[in-house]
């Protein structure tokens, strides 16, 4: 296990010197950094304690111009090492770095008052007291304070021992869930190819695993892996890792700081997420609705706007619910911490935690939506699922819930089962409903159908479109259709010829329809096979052919008639008889029978025989194989 410690503090307060004194490693990687004497980008150094535990130091820049790099380095750390120079004391970036550690949920810090060789003990005590007073205004827990000098070595051993004891006692991070690494650096190595480095937020990675580069969705394979600068077969949550990735769509230009390497291969990015937001107490004014901000999360940095969901603004020191609308897509998970800075990027405004990565575009400030958000973000996926099932009229998108909580599929399945969720498939999307909400939908749909049957008992049922409109569920059409299909599968409702109805509803004919049916049935029965052309039947009934087609469509829906050809209607018993003849042929010719053979046994002409066979193909009774037909199903008898 590696315990990651991030330095924090004002520029030139001795952060890099302190890391070098603690580890013997110079974290400044670039020639420019060494020449200018200040850290520009992230630096890393490691100190092994024993076979099981190591310290990993992330040295962040202190200059305000490089605050974006600093934010990328403190995204997933176990401890903050606050560095304050004894000669300067608390400076502007000291205050901002402390605020950032607090907002990002780095709960514990150790304070190092540096450059003690330049001042007397009274000054050291004054600075230590000032730091303690300032930290008392935050949520940070101060484990200890040390007076040190990176130049003389004073206090270094005591600080190092304290950090080692903290690391030994530090609980290892949970490794369940999918692998997530926030990319803070990428480069190419001759003979190896693309390498990305970053902090592992969750899960486990093994050499040979397939991963996805997010938000691009590019697939890659792990060819090699280093943990804390040492070759390894696996990387774990809490590690600093360098990963050698290979893939046909992968090159250095496709990978950037802020990307994620994820074990979730099918996840989708988002442009909006709901979150809580704490505005820093020292802000001069409230953070207003639609404020443009720089958003930092993981190692990512994008432009966004803050939609305040209540009261139109959040006062300094206050917390509120917000929706972040990002200019570019990104990937976040529930619980991810984030920082927002003002439009110029000059100061930190506040920060918080992600509550719902896939926030709705409409109705974001509705009372029921805000109430749901208040129930989320407790760190318990099971509780979040129950809240979303109870608070989401449109159901819970199962895949998005899995991505949001970075869960494996088997884990989500278990949570859904424990919650008693009803699963419905809407096209390629699986939706979960709470039993109560599903029962309410079922009651609404069956009541709508019951009302329709009472109004028009002679109509078999409602079309899907009509049922969607009449039920007024307030759901997208695809979800209504999915719920209808689920209820049909359960036998709660039924579907006949595309019309949806209650299972016990049997449409009765009106008096006019009964008279027409009696007349048509008599004429078709007298004609035998083949039945008369529709035009001849219309003439005999003294009715225009188009009007007859419209009226006979009702009889077709009720399966009293069939219309295998555009210009003829058949009694269903005639279709049954022709199917029986086809079944006899299929028994006689197991490899299949042709149209001529069917023509001969049916007594139909060649063209009509072919039309009948094509009708059988459409209804799934037969299947065409070359010039032959074979039976596809054992057809149940038609309704008389």
Is a pLDDT exceeding 60 seen at residue 414? Answer: yes
Residues 504 and 514 reside in one and the same domain: no
Q: Tell me, yes or no, whether 269 lies in a domain.
A: no
pLDDT score at 617: 93
Residues 408 and 488 reside in one and the same domain: yes
CA dihedral (140, 94, 100, 18) positive or negative: negative
Residues 46 and 148 reside in one and the same domain: yes
Is a pLDDT exceeding 70 seen at residue 568? Answer: yes
Per-residue tokens: 324 = 């972040």
The whole domain housing 433 covers: 378-508
Is a pLDDT exceeding 70 seen at residue 583? Answer: yes
Residues 228 and 131 reside in one and the same domain: no
Indicate the pTM of the whole model.
Answer: 0.77
Q: What is the pLDDT of residues 10-40, one digit of tens each?
A: 988 998 899 999 998 876 543 333 333 333 3
Q: Across 269-346, where does the E strand assignment appear?
A: 270-279, 287-288, 291-297, 300-308, 313-314, 319-330, 337-341
Q: What is the mean pLDDT of the chain?
A: 90
Q: What is the domain count for the chain? A: 4
Q: What is the pLDDT of residues 179-213, one digit of tens each?
A: 999 998 898 888 888 999 988 999 999 999 999 99
Q: What are the backbone dihedrals phi and psi of residue 539, each rounded to the nearest 5 degrees, phi first? A: -65, -40
Residues 30 and 94 reside in one and the same domain: yes
Residue 66 binned pLDDT confidence (cut-offs 50, 70, 90): very low
- Cβ(127)–Cβ(113) under 8 Å? yes
Which residue, among 22, 149, 129, has the nearest Cα to 79 in the 3D structure?
Answer: 22
**Would you say how long the chain is, in residues?**
640
Is a pLDDT exceeding 70 seen at residue 160? Answer: yes
Reading across the β-sheet that carries 429-433, which strands appear in turn?
396-397, 429-433, 422-426
Mean pLDDT to the nearest integer, 46-73: 69
Q: In which element (H, E) is residue 54 found?
A: strand 54-59
Which residue, among 57, 75, 68, 63, has the nearest Cα to 39 in the 3D structure?
Answer: 63
Q: Tell me, yes or no, whether 564 lies in a domain.
A: yes
Distance CA 367, CA 377 (A): 18
Residue 72 binned pLDDT confidence (cut-offs 50, 70, 90): low
Q: Tell me, what CATH number does 610's domain have?
A: 1.10.10.10
Mean pLDDT to the nearest integer, 281-309: 96
pLDDT score at 52: 80
Q: What is the dihedral of CA 602, 605, 610, 611, to 10 degrees?
A: -100
Residue 474 binned pLDDT confidence (cut-offs 50, 70, 90): confident
Q: At what angle do helices 606-619 and 595-602 cross, to 10 degrees?
A: 110
Q: Tell me, yes or no, whether 316 lies in a domain.
A: no
Distance CA 298, CA 182 (A): 6
Residues 480 and 585 reside in one and the same domain: no
Which residue, among 74, 77, 54, has the nearest Cα to 9 in the 3D structure?
Answer: 74
Phi-psi region of 514 (alpha: psi -120 to 50; beta: other; left: phi over 0): alpha
Beta bridge partners of residue 82, listed in sequence order? 8, 111
Residues 8 and 138 reside in one and the same domain: yes
Which of 212, 242, 262 corresponds to the end of one domain? 262
Q: Tell me, what CATH number does 72's domain have?
A: 3.40.50.300
Radius of gyration, alpha carbons of the chain: 36
Which of 508, 528, 561 corresponds to the end of one domain? 508
Residues 147 and 193 reside in one and the same domain: no
Q: What is the dihedral of CA 276, 278, 283, 287, to 10 degrees?
A: 20
């Amino acid at each position: 296990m590696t315990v990651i410690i991030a330095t924090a503090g004002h520029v030139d307060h001795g952060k890099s010197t302190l890391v070098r004194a603690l580890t013997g490693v110079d974290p400044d990687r670039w020639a420019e950094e060494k020449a200018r004497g200040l850290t520009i980008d992230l630096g890393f150094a490691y100190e092994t304690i024993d076979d099981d535990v190591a310290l990993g130091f992330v040295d962040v820049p202190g200059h305000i111009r490089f605050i974006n790099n600093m934010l990328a380095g403190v995204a997933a750390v176990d401890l903050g090492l606050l560095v304050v120079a004894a000669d300067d004391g608390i400076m502007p970036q000291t205050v901002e770095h402390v605020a950032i550690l607090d907002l990002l949920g780095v709960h514990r810090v150790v304070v190092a008052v540096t450059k003690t060789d330049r001042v007397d003990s009274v000054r050291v005590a004054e600075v230590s007291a000032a730091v303690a007073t300032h930290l008392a205004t935050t949520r940070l827990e101060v484990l200890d304070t040390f007076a040190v000098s990176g130049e003389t070595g004073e206090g270094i051993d005591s600080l190092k021992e304290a950090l080692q004891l903290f690391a030994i006692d530090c609980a290892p991070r949970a490794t369940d869930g999918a692998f997530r690494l926030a990319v803070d650096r990428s480069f190419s190595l001759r003979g190896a190819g693309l390498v990305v480095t970053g902090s592992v937020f969750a899960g486990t990675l093994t050499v040979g695993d397939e991963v996805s580069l997010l938000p691009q969705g590019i697939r890659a394979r792990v060819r090699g892996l280093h943990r804390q600068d040492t070759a390894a077969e696996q990387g774990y949550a809490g590690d600093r890792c360098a990963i050698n990735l290979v893939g046909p769509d992968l090159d250095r230009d496709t990978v950037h700081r802020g990307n994620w390497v994820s074990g979730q291969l099918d996840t989708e990015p988002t442009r909006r997420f709901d979150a809580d937001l704490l505005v820093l107490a020292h802000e001069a004014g409230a953070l207003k609705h639609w404020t443009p901000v720089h958003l930092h999360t993981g190692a990512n940095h994008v432009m966004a706007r803050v939609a305040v969901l209540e009261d139109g603004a959040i006062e300094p020191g206050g917390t509120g619910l917000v929706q972040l609308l990002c200019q570019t897509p990104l990937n976040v998970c529930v619980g991810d911490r984030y920082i927002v800075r003002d439009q110029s990027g000059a100061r930190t405004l506040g920060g918080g935690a992600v509550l719902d990565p896939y926030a709705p575009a409409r109705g974001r400030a509705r009372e029921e939506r805000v109430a749901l958000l208040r129930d989320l973000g407790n760190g318990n996926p099971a509780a979040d699922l129950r809240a979303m099932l109870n608070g989401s009229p449109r159901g819970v998108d199962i895949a998005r819930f899995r991505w949001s909580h970075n869960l494996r599929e088997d884990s989500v399945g278990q949570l859904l089962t424990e919650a008693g969720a009803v699963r419905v498939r809407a096209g390629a999307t699986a939706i979960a409903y709470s039993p109560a909400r599903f029962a309410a939908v079922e009651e609404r749909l069956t009541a709508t159908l019951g009302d329709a049957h009472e109004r028009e008992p002679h109509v078999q049922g409602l079309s899907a479109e009509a049922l969607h409109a009449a039920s007024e569920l307030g759901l997208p059409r695809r979800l209504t259709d999915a719920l209808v299909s689920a209820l049909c599968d359960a036998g709660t409702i039924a579907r006949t010829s595309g019309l949806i109805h209650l299972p016990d509803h049997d449409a009765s004919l009106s008096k006019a329809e009964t008279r027409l049916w009696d007349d048509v049935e008599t004429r078709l029965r007298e004609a035998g096979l083949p039945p008369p052309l529709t035009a001849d039947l219309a003439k005999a009934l003294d009715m225009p052919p188009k009007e007859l087609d419209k009226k006979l469509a009702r009889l077709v829906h009720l399966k009293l008639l069939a219309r295998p050809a555009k210009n003829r209607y058949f009694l269903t018993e005639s279709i049954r008889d022709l199917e029986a003849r086809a079944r006899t042929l299929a028994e006689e010719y197991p490899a299949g029978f042709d149209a001529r053979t069917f023509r001969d046994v049916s007594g139909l002409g060649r063209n009509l025989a072919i039309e009948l066979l094509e009708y059988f193909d459409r209804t799934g009774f037969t299947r065409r194989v070359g010039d032959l037909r074979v039976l596809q199903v054992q057809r149940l008898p038609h309704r008389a």
